[in-house]
Amino acid sequence: MDSPCGSPNSDRQDGGEFQFTFESLITSSTRSILESLGVEGSCSVSLTESVFDFPQEFGRTFHAYKAGLYLFPNDDIEQDRLAIQTEAIERLCSGKVHFAPFSDKNPPRNVLDLATGTGDWAIQIGEMFPSTKVIATDLSPIQPTLVPPNVHFYIEDSSERWIYSERFDYIHTRGTAGCWQSFEKDIAAQAFEWLYPGGYFESVELDNYTGLLCSGSPPALKDIYRRVGFEDVHELILPMPMNGWPDDPMLKRIGGLWERNFLSGLSGMTLSIFTRVFELSPEDVEACMAPAVALINVRRELSDLNVHAYMNLRIVWGRKPVA
Ligand SMILES: C[S@@+](CC[C@H](N)C(=O)[O-])C[C@H]1O[C@@H](n2cnc3c(N)ncnc32)[C@H](O)[C@@H]1O
């Protein structure tokens, strides 16, 4: 994709409404209708087609727009994994969907959810605040087509310069490990710029997992928020058990979900990194590497109830100063 022609950003440069072509509501049947109307030759339609043309590797599919930028697959297995991850995070957060101080009486006018994945959070927020316009973006068009009318999905690389037609009251990230080269420059600084004064930025991210993949990210999240200018910065740290080792029944259930999330995500992520970076074969990655990192052993240890491991889920939110 070497031309920004028809990209969501270029479509918005005139400050008008978003172009319909990037909505996930464009199903293959809609595309056939567009084609029958003779619009298949348009620049934006061909771009829409190409974002569905998922590259395949190891029997998995990956995002087509900016192919290779993000290492996890985007197929059904990955979408099921994201559903498990969401359930574990939501249970750990006691069902709380947002931490920034919005409410029925004080809903955000508009929300931006970056790297939305299957769009679960965006849809929940759209249902919770029906008068709020929710924009959610991702490299992959893997969001459902039946969504509340106030929720809109677009294909976008959020590490590029953002160009929107209006600012936001609330910008959100969750589980964006491995998505950004620099969380501070690419995301936090742009969120600061694109929020209305008094608007909130919020991140729900995992420690160390992200630290490994993307240095300078969530472990320093609170500092990053302050550095780019946010005030009234809050941080909540919740330990996520790696498997069902806790005695507490609720944490045991959450740990069991996290173990499933990890077991499911392990090969998709590891194969991409180890085959590309170390030029290993998938078989080597599975069994023949150094014992500590061979997946066969990692899986065994992940499920070992004698290992009482956890990782921190870090929730940070802060306000853009009013003046
Ligand atoms: C682990 S998923 C998290 C999804 C979602 N936020 C959630 O909580 O379920 C990460 C998502 O980030 C997207 N992504 C990765 N790099 C991105 C980028 N540079 N711009 C936009 N989306 C990106 C991926 O396509 C993937 O869907």
Ligand 1 contact via 125 beta carbon (within 6 Å): no
Q: How far apart are CA 264 and CA 278, in angstroms?
A: 22
- Which range, 115-119, 274-278, 304-308, is most confident? 115-119
What is the average pLDDT across 279-288? Answer: 73
| Predicted pLDDT at 96 | 97
Q: Single out the residue of 301, 122, 85 nearest to residue 205, CA to CA.
A: 85
CA dihedral of 208, 213, 215, 219, whole degrees rounded to 10: -20
Tell me, what amino acid is at 249?
P
Q: What string of DSSP letters covers 54-103?
A: --EETTEE---TTTTSS-S--SHHHHHHHHHHHHHHHHHTTT----SS--
Under DSSP, is residue 12 helix (H, G, I), strand (E, B) or coil? Answer: coil
d(CA 139, CA 157): 6
The SS3 assignment for 104 reads coil
Note the pLDDT of residue 122.
98
Residues whose CB falls within 8 Å of the CB of residue 131, separated by 6 or more in sequence, listed in order: 107, 150
Q: What is the pLDDT of residue 14?
A: 33
Say yes or no to pLDDT of 24 above 90.
no
User: Of the residues 24, 70, 162, 203, which should be mutated to test ligand 1's pocket, given the most ligand atoms within 8 Å of the CB?
Assistant: 70
**The residue count for the chain:** 323
Instruction: Locate CATH 3.40.50.150 in the chain.
Output: 73-243+309-320
Closest-CA residue, ligand 1 atom 27, reads: 117
Q: Is the pLDDT of residue 19 over 70?
A: no
277 band by pLDDT with thresholds 50, 70 and 90: confident
246 — pLDDT class (breaks 50, 70, 90): very high
Mutate to test the pocket of ligand 1, among 9, 51, 74, 82 (most ligand atoms within 8 A of CB): 82
More confident residue, 236 or 19: 236
Instruction: Give the per-residue pLDDT at 292.
Output: 60
Contact 173, 316 (CB under 8 A): no
Closest C-alpha among 314, 311, 313 to residue 241: 311
SS3 2: coil
What are the pLDDT digits (tens) for 265-275? Answer: 888 778 777 78
Question: Tens digit of pLDDT for each residue in 211-237?
Answer: 344 444 445 899 999 999 999 999 999
Q: What is the pLDDT of residues 72-119, one digit of tens each?
A: 999 999 999 999 999 999 999 999 999 999 999 999 999 999 999 999
The pLDDT value recorded for residue 293 is 64
DSSP class of residue 128 equals H
Query: What's the confidence (pLDDT) of residue 40?
Result: 43
Count of CB atoms situated within 10 Å of the CB of 272? 21
Q: Does domain 73-243+309-320 have CATH number 3.50.50.60?
A: no
Q: Give nearest CA residue, ligand 1 atom 18.
A: 157
Mean pLDDT of 286-314: 81
DSSP state of 20: G
| CB atoms inside a 10 Å sphere around CB 179 | 25
Instruction: Give me ligand 1 centre to Cα 122, in Å.
Output: 13
- Provide the mean pLDDT of the chain: 83
